Amino acid sequence: MVRLNKIYTRTGDDGSTGLATGPRRAKFDLRVASYGTVDEANATIGMARLHISAEPALAELDAMLMRVQNDLFDLGADLCTPETGEASGFEPLRVVESQVARLEAEIDRLNAELQPLMSFVLPGGTPASAHLHLARTVVRRAEREMVELSRREGEIVSEMALRYVNRLSDLLFVAARYANGKGSGDVLWVAGQNR
């Protein structure tokens, strides 16, 4: 269990932050940016859930997103605890395959009820859908940062963490359509409409 008795420590006043294993990194470091963007994605999902929880027909979707929000804390912990090859004295929290498999099953579950897609979808429709599209774009940014981090020498990002964030953006796309009347309220792109 996590216990936070004191919210400010003053240790970050110099522009650095501590990783779970102890070393300090600049607050603009790509690893810190990656888990910061994961946190931002979590907050945007929370905003979407404000609209979803008000709709009894979306209770299942709300429960899915609650699980995702918890998973995103796991992902943040995973990223905040870089693999070093050295003993850390504790078992680091890592994203695992069952979390990825659950997302895939939930994507399939929601997608089975959606109207077929005949065009690209513009972010919009219901407030819940618009917020889920926003969350999707934030997750895509987190994914780009995590992939870039994984390509840097000496930096490791687990395969499961990368797979999870990739599937999550797919889930959020499907969830946005589901929240838009199972696709009936989607706002569709019309190529060249305003030429």
Single pTM value for the model: 0.88
- DSSP state at residue 126: S
Q: Is 34 domain-assigned?
A: yes
CATH code at position 136 = 1.20.1200.10
For 15: left if phi > 0, alpha if psi spans -120 to 50, otherwise beta; the answer is left
CB 20 within 8 A of CB 73: no
Q: Reduce the DSSP state of residue 121 to 3 states and report it.
A: strand
Tell me whether residue 193 is in a domain.
Answer: no
Question: Contact at 8 Å (CB) between 132 and 179?
Answer: yes
Distance CA 171, CA 58 (A): 15
Flag whether 156 is in a domain. yes
Whether 70 is covered by a domain: the verdict is yes
Residue 178 lies in a domain: yes
Cα–Cα dist 160/166, whole Å: 10
Q: Is residue 63 part of a domain?
A: yes
| Structural domain boundaries enclosing 76 | 25-81+94-186
List the chain pLDDT tens, one digit each, 195 residues: 556 566 666 656 666 565 556 566 556 688 889 989 999 999 999 999 999 998 999 999 999 999 999 999 999 999 988 876 666 666 778 999 999 999 999 999 999 999 888 889 999 999 999 999 999 999 999 999 999 999 999 888 999 999 999 999 999 999 999 999 988 899 999 989 899
Q: How many domains does the chain have?
A: 1
| One-letter amino acid of 49 | R
51 domain residue, yes or no = yes
